[in-house]
Amino acid sequence: MRKCVDFLVIGSGIAGLTFALKVAKYGKVCIITKSKMDDTATSWAQGGIAAVMYTPDSYEKHIRDTIIAGDGLCDEKVVRFTIQESTERIRDLVKWGAKFDKTKSGRYDLAKEGGHSEYRVLHHKDSTGREIENTLLDQVRRHPNIEILENHFTIDIITQHHLGVEVNSRTPDITCYGAFVLNPRTHLVDTVLSKITLIATGGAGNVYNITTNPLISTGDGIAMVYRAKGAVENMEFIQFHPTALYHPEEKPAFLISEAVRGFGAVLRTRDGKEFMHKYDSRLSLAPRDIVARAIDNELKLSGDDYLWLDCRHLSKNELINHFPTIYAKCLSNNIDISKDMIPVVPTAHYTCGGIKVDEFGRSSILNLYASGECSSTGLHGANRLASNSLLESLVFSHRASVDAISQVKQISHCHEIPDWNAEGMVLNEEMILITQSMKELQAIMSSYVGIVRSNLRLQRAFDRLELLYRESEDLYNKSILTQRLCELRNLINIGYLIIKGAQRRKESRGLHFSLDYPKITSQKG
């Protein structure tokens, strides 16, 4: 199949849907998603979305908190306009129908999370992402200019390379013409040509053994842009959420929202002692990189597999009212959080680096934009401030839409693009190796490229990954494509980018901590 559209959106979370809604009246939009439309990281977001709504909060306070959490690597210009546009972007969501919790007086019931100096996190109980996702989906499904292709897997973006032109990272004006997409009905690769393409494919948590990310988070968009010689940066900054429910057999890991600590829950060792005072004056509400390293250190000192998050001193009724999903999930594991402490452990959670974009979401490849977790905007720096991710998606998808609308009429489709050539490909009997290779990759990354790293660990990871890369590329080049094979290929690319980024950074900063450079850049409290 061959299709031409004005706007191609790859991904169906908050970033992709926001962009689609804003550009839809200016042309035909096609949204491609590898699973069901609502199977996104957005749907899993518990805590909420940070925005300045009332005094005593202010833009300057939110800006300061973001820059402190980012450990000196935030782009201050980006931080400023993102925070200053936060209030208006929340109004967009409310206009579309999103409902955030309010107090009896009618004001938004704002929460406070780690690294925040004020109460500024809007939420819908503890399922904020699901509320936002459902709201946006309702609007998208009713829009006559938007076509949705579920269970379609994007293999690669189309550039001059597919016209036989030699392309490398120094090639001027690499241009995106659309994407090659695996069709689940025909098992063939379709060609989707577009004037403008937005990548909104989310993160890459499944490069690790255990992650809070849904199974679809395999770094597809980042890997596609890397292979197309686009700019990718800061991949060493992988955020480990300090508090996932300890349940080793369960994938993905269930997140115990940072909002629970914001509500008053306290971290304790297995023998019941508080410990965060040894690491930071903000205690359990320090930024995530600090809390995750503290927990990691305590577990290594004790030899325990997990420690406790204690909610027992908090009001049971208020706990259930604010965190019904978390309460129910823990209860299903025979944990009554009003009476029992919750076993928690740090878990791979968020990709702070990604496709390098400018202030309008433009990548280094012409006509290609990126928004959301797959992008690197300069907002997060070396560590993302809690609940800034959904805000970033809203702001950058809005800005990308403004720029794309101004450009789309000047762009024509590139009809010279040849269709995908699968000649000589076979249904390979060795496909069973994909599962084993995936496990090996995740074990390598978890063992050597986790919360604490070293030059030796990184080199061991690189050497082992190189073998997996050669094996998977050989399989890819000979086989009829499957989604799982492509995901393995993408995750190996992601692993490489994380390792190389970590090897280049000769310091400990934010989410990247190396035993060879143990002096951590100061984070002012």
Q: 384, 82 in Cβ contact below 8 A? A: no
Confidence grade of residue 258 (pLDDT, cut at 50, 70, 90): confident
Alpha-carbon 160 to chain mean position: 28
CATH 3.50.50.60 fits 2-236+352-410, yes or no: yes
DSSP codes joined into one string, 5-70 = EEEEEE--SHHHHHHHHHHGGGS-EEEE-SS-TT-SHHHH--S-EE---STT--HHHHHHHHHHHT
Structure tokens at 501: 């980024």
Confidence grade of residue 56 (pLDDT, cut at 50, 70, 90): very high
What pLDDT score was predicted for residue 524? Answer: 42
Q: Is 288 a catalytic residue?
A: yes
Structure tokens at 379: 């907002």
Of all residues in the chain, what percent carry a pLDDT higher than 90? 82
What pLDDT score was predicted for residue 479? Answer: 83
Confidence grade of residue 163 (pLDDT, cut at 50, 70, 90): confident
How far apart CA 476 and CA 466 sit, in angstroms, is 15
Structure tokens at 300: 């290594």
What pLDDT score was predicted for residue 64? Answer: 97
What pLDDT score was predicted for residue 192? Answer: 97
Q: What is the pLDDT of residues 201-218, one digit of tens each?
A: 999 999 999 999 999 999
Q: What is the pLDDT of residues 335-365, one digit of tens each?
A: 999 999 999 999 999 999 999 999 999 999 9
Alpha-carbon 424 to chain mean position: 36
Residue 522 has pLDDT above 60, yes or no: no
- The neighbour count for residue 18, using CB atoms within 10 Å, is 31
Residue 309 has pLDDT above 80, yes or no: yes
Q: What is the pLDDT of residues 478-502, one digit of tens each?
A: 888 889 999 999 999 999 999 999 9
- Mean pLDDT rounded to a whole number for the chain: 93
What pLDDT score was predicted for residue 490? Answer: 98
What pLDDT score was predicted for residue 320? Answer: 93
What pLDDT score was predicted for residue 521? Answer: 53
CATH 1.20.58.100 fits 429-480+482-514, yes or no: yes
| Domain locations in the chain as residue ranges | 2-236+352-410, 243-345, 429-480+482-514
Greatest mean pLDDT among 197-201, 315-319, 431-435 lies in: 197-201
Q: 476, 321 in Cβ contact below 8 A? A: no
What pLDDT score was predicted for residue 126? Answer: 81
How far apart CA 115 and CA 192 sit, in angstroms, is 43
How far apart CA 30 and CA 40 sit, in angstroms, is 17
What pLDDT score was predicted for residue 431? Answer: 66
Q: What is the pLDDT of residues 269-285, one digit of tens each?
A: 999 999 999 999 999 98
Pick the catalytic residue from 261, 268, 288, 505. Answer: 288
pTM of the full structure: 0.93
Residue 382 has pLDDT above 70, yes or no: yes
CATH 3.40.50.410 fits 243-345, yes or no: no
What pLDDT score was predicted for residue 166? Answer: 82
What pLDDT score was predicted for residue 525? Answer: 41
Residue 257 has pLDDT above 70, yes or no: yes
Q: CB-side exposure of 149: number of CA atoms within 13 Å?
A: 21
Q: 511, 237 in Cβ contact below 8 A? A: yes
Q: 199, 184 in Cβ contact below 8 A? A: no
